[in-house]
Amino acid sequence: MAENVEPIFGGPAPTDPVPDIVEMLEGLLEQARSGDLRGFAYAVARPGTAGEEWHAEPEAKFELVTAVAVLHHRIVADLADETR
């Protein structure tokens, strides 16, 4: 049945991996394994739901909060551009 599913908005079908997401996660995993990441926050969108989680070493919490705020702004600005 999944082979009959066609995306409504031109993106990949719900069961297909999104190459950009896979590439981003692989890069982050390399950074985590090397010890470069001291904090990490994520939000995910799945069909019909969303979720979030975070972890940070105590010394990285302020940087993580700042990065999340900047990310929020970037996503909202992108949404605003799409509606114009």
Give residue-wise pLDDT tens across range 45-80.
Answer: 988 889 999 999 999 999 999 999 999 999 999 999
Q: Could you state, in order of their start, the residue ranges of all structural domains in the chain? A: 1-37, 39-84
pTM reported for the whole predicted model: 0.72
Range among 3-7, 39-43, 78-82 with highest mean pLDDT value? 39-43
DSSP string, 7-65: -SSSS--TTS--HHHHHHHHHHHHHHHHT--SEEEEEEEETTEEEEEEEE-GGGHHHHH
**Res 68: pLDDT:** 97
